[in-house]
Structure 1
Amino acid sequence: MQQSTEDRPESDQEDAAPLLNQQLSLGKGLCSARYSLVLILHFSLFMMYSLRVNLSIAIIAMTNGTNPGSLPNSSTDVCPNRSHAQPNGSHREFTQGAPVYDWSAETQGVILSAFFYGYLFTQLLGGYWSGQFGGKLVLGYGLLSTSALTLLVPLAAGLGAAYLIGLQALLGMAEDALLGPSSPSLQLESSASTWGGLTSSTSSGISHGRSLPLLAMIKSLPLWAIAVPCFCSEWLFYTLLTSMPMYMHEVLHFDIRENGLLAALPYIGNWLCTIVSGVLADFLLSKQVFSIATVRKLFSVLGMMLPAISLVAVSYVGCDYRAAVVFLTLSMTVISMCGAGFYTNHMDIAPRYAGFVLGVTNTLGTVSGIIAPAAVGFFTSQDLLTGWRNVFCVSAALNLFGPLFYVTFGSGTIQDWAREDTALQ
């Protein structure tokens, strides 16, 4: 027989999930406010990533494969051309009047990374706003402005790469407003009263108000334990998000239609694994099989080390495109397990400040989004196959370091600086 909460030792009670024991009056059944919020956030995130990733696919057709500066030096063991692409790198379906630009590999890397300059700029502000005002207006205006700016991409590209880089930075700033509302546990609980017109039955202290214990946050190792693997895993994620279509085109020689279809497979796996890993983590916590800290560390280790191994495998499969697609799909699928690991750990260690803390850790993750695409352009401009091998090996090395740091310093308990009674003093 399981012990009641009152009978368990105080240390075990502290390690209990702060949100699992909070019951909200959100209605019942599929028409409840909870399911409505899940549906809204689902389609919002769907649109957010669609707007973010479309240029990664489009840039393949937008660039001129005949430009000497756009094609990196090829190794002698280049893969055979198995696609419907023309030998000069252009595409039959885009030869009639479609503009083509002479952008080098380095320029393409800067264009793809420019989004994250803007995304970084308002990261902390977006997290603070979500805790101060809730997510309703921030989410709506963020999606609207991002969609409107995306319509200007063809015009900016026609004016020149510098204009497109500037527009990408503006897109990043607009989409950063979606950061707070996309924090899953935080906004699902705290936005219920905003969207659903309902009031929670417990004072959870999720809204932090105006006070922020910044010095205590800076000194907090459990917070750094989230930030470091966030940087490492985001490096891998953004590398694949922005550059995987380019790898499939340049190395594996998939045409634009095959590229779009095959590039979608890893994200289908990511979507399914996110759901399964979240349900499994909640099951382990609700049945008290493991403590909060153990569950977070288990899913973090699996979600980072397995993709690292898969990426190393990709770098050595050569021209075996089937094996490459399998390993890339496995990497992007399994990395979603981190969502039940350190990505959710904000709510464990600081539920009052989860929106702002997410902004802090996601800022470091965004830095990797700035560096990674530019690094891809640099590596692949030297030598194609060797460059991509270096890209995958660097990502793998970071994804081995991240979980080691998290396992060493991560925590599953609310930190002293995040307690409500401490904040009120």
Structure 2
Amino acid sequence: MATKRSSAEDEGVPLLGAQEAVSSRGCVKARHALAILGFLGFFNVYCMRVNLSVALVAMANYTSTKNETLSEECSGNLSTHITQGTAETYHWDENTQNQILSAFFYGYLVTQIPGGWLAGKYGGKWLFGLGVLCTTILTLLTPLAASAGTGWLIAVRVLEGLGEGVTFPAMHAMWGSWAPPLERSKLATFTYAGSHMGTIISSPISGVLCDSNFLGGWPAVFYLFGALGLVWFVFWTLLAHDTPAQHPRISPEEREYIEKSIGHRNKRSLSVPILSVFTSVPMWAIIISHFANNWGFYTLLTNLPNYLKNVLKFDLSQSGFLSGLPYIFLWLAVVFGGQVADYLRMNNILTTGQTRKLFNNLGLSIPAISLVLVGYVGCDRTLAIVFLCVACLGAGLTMSGCNVNHLDIAPQYAGILMGITNCGATIPGFAGPAVVGALTENNNTISQWRIVFWICFGIYMFGIITYTFMASGVEQPWAKEEYTVVVNASEEDQEPSEENHHVNPDYGR
């Protein structure tokens, strides 16, 4: 056992120290394979989530008509000509386009908490897999829905949100059973970085496909990424498992290392102390910061192609490539941030709570400042893209802050906690585009977007202040109640003996 340190929060180190963690390392462990499968799963769901943001520019012929009355602040430097495919286009005004973009999040909001509860009780494998499969099938049906009518397209997007809403809680629940405390940051952040890689890849490819005649143009966007989702589902079904005890190919050494460090939980004994969860100060710190981070993130995710095309006057293919560029920096920050965070914890440089606050507050302050600067660089496209990239670079650091913090304060309830916080953090998905639409509906000018960015700044700052004073890296007392640990169990549902009812006091700190 590594030596404890004293701090303001009386935090210690995880159950196994650095030497024990090193002894479990090898080439590709079962937990690493799960991280890769999870990465590819989130890659697919985000490809299918964000491709509409790019394709909508080609689908809506109303945009090109309205451009004649838009502010010409940034006109004249780049071509605004758009070569579209032969597929049908639709006369959707700005309000209709925002309704279509927001529809996904209404469904996404509904299944967050139920998804977390189901994953915590029954396991996340099938919940995650079927959630992605649902989104995949509906993505393939999107061109048909669009031709059937706006209402059908909105309905399909709501259903996609229902399917995809279970993915983050389900994966968080799986990491509650798979991620040793010293590896939480790097395993979880690598997995969720797949979402940002999906944004990086899908944005430029969607722009190119919309500009081509392949399968008519924009419909090819949905057919391509839908097909990739089907392929992934086959591999996930065959290779993923809910717990180390269920994995047929895991080495005895790796299974022992994982189960000694986090225990082997009997899911049927799990009951959620819901009142304690909602009266927990550290839990509210995560909820608020998650909301703040997602407000800025969704503002960019759904509206960046619109800003690049209608304000900075990039053409469609350029908008696709440049929409993905900032997310390269976000992806790098997520992946390497997780490595650095666990290095700081493993080597006793910072406590878990200090590490989470450092990464979370950097991850909120950097994009807060950068987005405001975007609004003041005028038509300087180079500086605008630079600051957008810096904003996304900073935002990636929050993954090692509030996004992983559920696993610290209540690892056995990580799925349901992620469902709760992600439910609140989904509100910006439809509120953000509505605010952008209301503020920019007249002329889409830089001054109007400047207000959008200042709103993001204020929300980011609120997240920083609350997380600084309210967050913790310590496993909460309510999280230890009715928690059954069965070490080296031979069966997933083995009945625990009396001596196995325990929680190591150093676990998860």
TM-score > 0.5, shorter chain as reference: yes
- 1:28-107 to structure 2, matched below 5 A, reads 29-65=26-62, 74-75=70-71, 78-86=73-81, 91-94=82-85, 97-107=86-96
Of residues 107, 121, 130, the one that matches 1:118 is: 107
Q: CA deviation at 1:231?
A: 0.6
**One-letter identity of the residue aligned with 2:433:** P
- Say whether 1:201 aligns with 2:192: no
Could you say if the C-alpha distance between residues 391 and 362 of structure 1 is closer, same or farther in structure 2, counting changes exceeding 3 Å? same
Q: CA deviation at 1:315?
A: 0.7
Q: Equivalents in 2 of 1:263, 1:233: separation in Å?
A: 18
Q: 1:316 to 1:191 in 2, by over 3 A?
A: farther
d(CA) in 2 for partners of 1:157, 1:26: 54
Secondary structure in 2 matching 1:99: coil
Q: How many Å apart are 1:205 and its aligned residue?
A: 6.1
Equivalent residue for 2:125, pick from 136, 140, 144: 136
Name structure 2 gaps, 5 residues minimum: 180-241, 485-500, 503-509
How far off its partner does 1:400 sit? 1.3
Aligned to 1:416: 477
Partner of residue 186, structure 1 = 176
| Aligned positions of 1:157-172 closer than 5 A | 157-172=146-161
What is the CA-CA distance between 1:59 and the residue it aligns to?
0.5
The separation in 2 between residues aligned to 1:344 and 1:285, in whole angstroms, is 13
State the Cα distance separating 1:144 from its structure 2 match: 1.5
* Cα distance, 1:9–1:338 mapped onto 2, change above 3 Å: closer
Q: Does 1:216 align with 2:276?
A: yes
SS class of match (2:70): coil
Aligned-partner Cα distance in 1 for 2:479–2:392: 33
* Distance in 2, Cα, partners of 1:18 & 1:370: 41
Is the contact between residue 118 and residue 173 of structure 1 (CA under 8 Å) also seen in structure 2? Answer: yes
- Structure 2 vs 1, CA of residues 149 and 349 (structure 1 numbering), >3 Å: closer, same or farther? same
Is 1:301 matched up with 2:298? no
Q: Distance in 2 between matches of 1:103 and 1:162?
A: 12
Q: Which amino acid aligns with 2:480?
A: R
Where do residues 2-21 of structure 1 align in structure 2 (5 Å cutoff)? 5=2, 8=5, 14-17=11-14
Q: Secondary structure at the match of 1:93?
A: coil
Q: CA deviation at 1:121?
A: 0.8
Q: Quick check: 1:5–1:13 contact (8 Å CA) kept in 2?
A: no
How many angstroms does 1:16 deviate by? Answer: 2.6
The 1-side partners of 2:265 and 2:169 are apart by 13
Count of residues in Structure 1 that have an aligned counterpart in Structure 2: 414
Question: What's the counterpart of residue 372 of structure 2?
Answer: 312
Aligned partner of 1:368 in structure 2 is 428
| Structure 2 partner of 1:391 | 452
Q: Residue 187 and residue 167 in structure 1: after superposition, are their counterparts in 2 closer, same or farther (change >3 A)?
A: farther
Q: Distance between the aligned counterparts of 1:120 and 1:340, measured in 2? A: 23
The CA deviation string for residues 217-243 of structure 1, in whole angstroms up to 9 with x for no partner, is 111111001000111110111111111
Distance 1:170 1:360 in 2: 20
Cα contact 1:206–1:354 (8 A) shared by 2:
no
Q: Return the offset for 1:39.
A: 1.2
Give the Cα separation in 1 of the matches to 2:60 and 2:97: 9
Residues 412, 483 of structure 2: 8 Å contact kept: no
CA gap of 1:150–1:390, structure 2 versus 1, over 3 A, is same
- 2:406 maps to 1:406: no
Q: Distance in 1 between matches of 2:304 and 2:449?
A: 10
SS in 1 for 2:259: coil
CA distance 1:154–1:213, change in 2 (3 Å): same
Q: CA deviation at 1:379?
A: 1.4
Q: Deviations over 1:273-322 (max 9, x none)?
A: 11111111111101111111111111111000010000000011111111
Which deviates the most, 415-424 or 313-322? 415-424
Cα distance between partner residues in 1 of 2:9 and 2:470: 19
* Unaligned stretches of 5+ residues in structure 1: none
Structure 1 residues 269 and 195: CA distance shift in structure 2, 3 A:
farther
TM-superposed deviation, 1:19 = 8.0
Q: Judge conservation of contact 1:18–1:347 (CA < 8 Å) in 2.
A: no
Query: Take 2:361 and 2:36, find their aligned partners in 1: how far apart are those partners?
Result: 29
Deviation at 1:27, TM superposition (A): 7.0
- Residue 133 of structure 2 aligns with an amino acid whose one-letter code is L
Q: CA deviation at 1:93?
A: 3.5
Note the C-alpha offset of 1:393.
1.4
Q: Does 200-209 or 172-181 show the bigger shift? A: 200-209
Note if contact 2:62-2:92 (Cα within 8 Å) is conserved in structure 1.
no
Q: Does 1:156 align with 2:145?
A: yes
2:233 matched residue in structure 1: none
Per the alignment, residue 347 of structure 1 pairs with: 407
Q: Say if 1:181 and 1:187, in contact at 8 Å, map to a contact too.
A: no
Percent identity reads: 37
Cα distance per residue 1:126-158 (max 9 Å; x no partner):
111221122221122122221110011111112
In 1: Cα distance, 2:320 partner to 2:177 partner: 32
Change over 3 Å in CA distance of 1:210–1:187 after alignment to 2: closer
Indicate how the Cα distance of structure 1 residues 194 and 21 shifts in structure 2: closer, same or farther if over 3 A, else same: farther
